[in-house]
Structure 1
Amino acid sequence: MKLSLGPLQYFWPRERTLAFYREAAQWPLDIVYLGETVCSKRRELGTQDWLALAAELAESGKQIVLSSLALIEAESELSTLQRLVDQGQGWIEANDLSAVQLCRLRGVPFVAGPTLNVYNHRALAMLVEDGLRRWVPGVEQGKVLLRELRAAMQAEGRTMPELEVIAFGRLPLAYSARCFTARALDVAKDQCGFRCIAYPDGMPLASREGRPFLRINGIQIQGEEITDLGPELPALRELGVDVLRLYPQADGTAEAVAHFDLARRSPTPPPRIGTRNGYWHGEPGMPVEAP
């Protein structure tokens, strides 16, 4: 079972980002995803910077995958996506169907990111024909659906792509053309001043009762909890999961990688270092407390 470092979901200063990934080059990871997936205005690192970092990290022997935006809203963003697909350095994580189309036209292998919304085996089979090599299911797609989908693919004699499951990190729940961070700070989206750089793990949002509830991250909303599927490793293996995705956090990412590296080599499941992911078990994403 492989370990991947998912794309950085937050907006960090340039030097912090570069230092993080140069440290990650020494971690026991098999795959590293690089690139901006949330907001194209986050330009501490430009396209050429990400490509240079990809070339640098590839020397560590890890597979490097360049990730695309989840929500493409402008021609300039489509042009950036075209440069990523044309760069010729490897696979693309397609988080939007525009990326799927460009990869298909150019014959570039791609990973279907969790925002592509693949819910049945026929859609998955079509993507495989287009060049899909690895699939990251959406956050709400639990073990029952994945088991049924795999069985349906096998029943029709179709090739199942590699299966990558989000095993650690805050779950990306929703995206919007509006910027939640700008709205929360009462500024216009086009004059946001890049305020989200002040929140390296997203802006906490509590319920009216004061309970931690969500994280605001630009145009993205995340769950508050850092979910952890470590104790479910036996079930993940039985389901045929190939890759465990660990999302970068402002603190403790190196420790999380070491924890999962030990767990994947151990015959016994590890203790949980985050919170239980209800979605994986077909339950609410977080427990509902009685009023």
Structure 2
Amino acid sequence: MTAKLTMGPVLFNWKPETLRDFYFRIADEAPVDTVHVGEVVCSKRTPFFEPYIAPVVERLQAAGKEVVLSSLALIMSEREMAAARSLASDAEVLVEANDISVAAITAGRPFVAGALLNIYNEGTLAALESMGAIRVCLPAELSGDAIAALASAAKSEIEIQAFGRLPLAISARCYAARARQLTKDACQYVCADDPDGMEVETLDEIPFLAVNGTQTMSSHYMDLLPDLVSLRARGVSRFRLWPQNVDMVAVSGLFRAVLDGRMAVAEAEDQLAGLCPGVQFANGYVHGRAGHLFVEDDE
């Protein structure tokens, strides 16, 4: 069976109309099987996009895409908990749990265990499957051997992160606001100034991480184009593309072409570099190496 492509939720604070148009274009043009919609990082952003959720979901479903509604990654208030309960009660659309509380309140209904849950071993995988997880997106730090071991033990679909900045951590504090001498409560939504994340450098001015509001991300973009075929053979059934401020229709086309054997990896890599000017790519984790490295093969 051919591996499937997932478009992950947009993690950045894009303008509502930009976000709507992004999803409309993904619906109409992107060769992906599943699309995630929903605010994962900061609940303060949620009201801006809410008026567009229904038409976006309708457009995606009309185009034959599976829609998954993604939850917040860190729930800290009763208001956010109430929103999570409302999300989890929607029996019409599959929900992605990015906070363990969301998995708990699905009451045994099928759900997706998100990439922001810590699923590093067979015991955790089995526990989430017993709660209703039918699909699991694994953390990015796992090696190919670890991925294969989990895929072998899984009753659910195994998905891994294959493109884009990696979501590494989430905090109660807003780094984007503090960098501009603002508080989280009066942030002025300054994270919108960085539609692809705010670069963080070391004292030696070397790119190190990226900041997206309360979220810490990798500086490099994950790029598993060279590893798709081998990971598919090791039991991975889905590959997740994290939306970045680049042509994601074209990006998804490259991943689809490599998975289908219609394009050589070298050609796809050249085109991907053209779509993401100035970006450094990485796939070290899957090779059991430092995460920021790019390994072309295992030699």
- Is the TM-score greater than 0.5? yes
Query: CA, structure 1 residues 141+75, in 2 after alignment: closer, same or farther (shift >3 Å)?
Result: same
Separation (CA, whole Å) in 2 of partners of 1:109 and 1:47:
24
The answer as to whether partners of 2:27 and 2:59 remain within 8 angstroms in 1 is no
Moved more, 186-195 or 119-128: 119-128
Letter in 2 for 1:193: Q
- Which of 176, 180, 195 in structure 1 is aligned with 2:171? 176
- Which of 160, 167, 176 in structure 2 is aligned with 1:165? 160
* Equivalence for 1:80: 83
- Which of 38, 45, 62 in structure 1 is aligned with 2:65? 62
* Equivalence for 1:216: 211
Is residue 42 from structure 1 mapped to residue 48 from structure 2 by the alignment?
no
Separation (CA, whole Å) in 2 of partners of 1:280 and 1:137:
11
**SS state of the match for residue 226, structure 1?**
strand
Aligned structure 1 segments of 4 or more residues deviating by more than 6 angstroms: none
Is residue 207 from structure 1 mapped to residue 202 from structure 2 by the alignment?
yes
Query: CA, structure 1 residues 51+101, in 2 after alignment: closer, same or farther (shift >3 Å)?
Result: farther
**SS state of the match for residue 147, structure 1?**
helix
**SS state of the match for residue 93, structure 2?**
coil
The answer as to whether partners of 2:283 and 2:293 remain within 8 angstroms in 1 is no
Q: Give the share of equivalent positions with the same residue, in percent.
A: 38
* Equivalence for 1:4: 6
CA apart distance, 1:148: 2.4
Q: State the TM-score, normalizing by the size of structure 1.
A: 0.91
Separation (CA, whole Å) in 1 of partners of 2:262 and 2:21:
34
Q: Can you list the C-alpha shifts for 1:57-115, whole angstroms capped at 9, x where unaligned? A: 11111100000011111111111111212222221110011110111x1x421111111
Separation (CA, whole Å) in 2 of partners of 1:234 and 1:80:
39
Separation (CA, whole Å) in 2 of partners of 1:28 and 1:147:
26
Q: State the TM-score, normalizing by the size of structure 2.
A: 0.89
Query: CA, structure 1 residues 162+170, in 2 after alignment: closer, same or farther (shift >3 Å)?
Result: same
The answer as to whether partners of 1:231 and 1:269 remain within 8 angstroms in 2 is no
- Which of 265, 276, 282 in structure 2 is aligned with 1:276? 282
Separation (CA, whole Å) in 1 of partners of 2:54 and 2:143:
34
Query: CA, structure 1 residues 286+102, in 2 after alignment: closer, same or farther (shift >3 Å)?
Result: same
The answer as to whether partners of 2:16 and 2:49 remain within 8 angstroms in 1 is no
The answer as to whether partners of 1:234 and 1:269 remain within 8 angstroms in 2 is no
Letter in 2 for 1:212: P
The unaligned stretches of length 5 or more in structure 2 are 274-280, 295-299
CA apart distance, 1:33: 0.3
**SS state of the match for residue 171, structure 1?**
strand
* Equivalence for 2:145: 144
The correspondence of residues 103-118 of structure 1 with structure 2, limited to 5 A, is 103=106, 105=107, 107-118=108-119
Separation (CA, whole Å) in 1 of partners of 2:162 and 2:122:
22
* Equivalence for 1:14: 16
Give the superposed CA RMSD. Answer: 1.7
CA apart distance, 1:231: 0.6
Letter in 1 for 2:5: L
Separation (CA, whole Å) in 1 of partners of 2:86 and 2:59:
18
* Equivalence for 1:245: 240
